């Protein structure tokens, strides 16, 4: 799977799922559709679930995660968060 294909599938999934829906990509990374674009964010390493900052799914991160994310798309994990307003 190519990164562009993954992002197209993820965007469609999140747009269809509705507001405040996040994709739980890993234990420490989530993504959501902010109404205009796909946003990726790291979660706090302290295990609180707090947002720790946004990131780009760049070539380096994609290379490390592509096999995991290709499997994730087959069985996605979604949840709802109400703390995303203004996070983008």
pLDDT digits (tens, 9 = 90+) for 6-56: 999 999 999 999 889 999 999 999 999 999 999 999 999 887 888 999 999
51-to-3, 16, 67, 74, 85 alpha-carbon distances in Å: 23, 23, 24, 25, 12
Q: Percentages helix, strand, coil for the chain, rounded to the nearest 5?
A: 35, 30, 35
User: What does the pLDDT read at residue 48?
Assistant: 84
The model's pTM is 0.90
As a whole number of Å, the end-to-end CA separation of the chain is 27
Model confidence at 88, pLDDT cuts 50, 70, 90, reads very low
Two tokens at 66? Answer: 């592509």
What is the rounded CA–CA span in Å between residue 6 and residue 8? 5
């Amino acid at each position: 799977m190519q990164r562009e294909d993954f992002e197209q599938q993820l965007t469609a999934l999140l747009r269809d799922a509705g507001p405040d829906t996040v994709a739980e990509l890993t234990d420490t990374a989530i993504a959501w559709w902010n109404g205009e674009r796909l946003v990726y964010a790291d979660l706090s390493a302290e295990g609180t679930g707090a947002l720790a900052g946004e990131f780009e799914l760049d070539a380096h991160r994609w290379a490390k995660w592509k096999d995991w994310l290709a499997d994730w798309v087959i069985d996605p994990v979604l949840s709802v968060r109400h703390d995303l307003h203004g996070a983008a």
